[in-house]
Amino acid sequence: MIEEKETLLKQYFELSKSILNALHQGEVEKVPVLIEQREVCISTIDRLDAKAGMVLLNEIIQVQLTELSVYEKEIQNQLKQTMKKLSNRVRYMQNEQNLRSQYEDRISVSKGVFYDSKR
């Protein structure tokens, strides 16, 4: 069981590295899929621990967990920065749309046609 948990933690580690690489390269659309895969890995690890009746730990697992905590902090920082960029982009687009809508005609009248108001 411990070997299986070590393998799953290695897979989790690789998925975390993939998430970080995707964030660094600006491939934001890949991140949700990788996070879902990582959550499946976490649930499998939780099932292993529940099946054993305790949290399975050894020195290798502890080293893996400390390495993962560093990656987790980096991923959280990158996600925050990405969210800021996306919210700024959305705000910019909304501002542009508001500016454009201020100069649009509110009454739909065909331009270049003269309407005689006395008739």
Print the domain residue range for 26. Answer: 2-102
Domain count, the chain: 1
In a domain, 34, yes or no: yes
Q: Which of 11-15, 20-24, 37-41, 115-119 has the lowest mean pLDDT?
A: 115-119
Contact between 12 and 42 under an 8 Å Cβ cutoff? The reply is yes
Local structure of 52: helix, strand or coil = helix
The mean pLDDT of 19-24, rounded to a whole number, is 89
In a domain, 68, yes or no: yes
Q: What pLDDT score does 39 carry? A: 92
Q: Distance of CA 114 to CAs 10, 106, 107, Å?
A: 75, 18, 15
The mean pLDDT of 53-69, rounded to a whole number, is 81
Residue 84 has pLDDT above 90, yes or no: yes
Q: How is residue 111 written in tokens?
A: 């331009």
Q: Which amino acid is at 54?
A: M
The mean pLDDT of 104-118, rounded to a whole number, is 63
The mean pLDDT of 94-111, rounded to a whole number, is 73
In a domain, 66, yes or no: yes
Q: How is residue 32 written in tokens?
A: 């949700």
Q: Which of 45, 73, 69, 67 is nearest to 57 (CA)?
A: 45
In a domain, 59, yes or no: yes
In a domain, 118, yes or no: no
Q: How is residue 37 written in tokens?
A: 């895969």
In a domain, 110, yes or no: no
Q: How is residue 84 written in tokens?
A: 């800021």
Q: Provide the whole-model pTM.
A: 0.69
Q: Per-residue pLDDT tens for 44-54?
A: 888 888 887 77
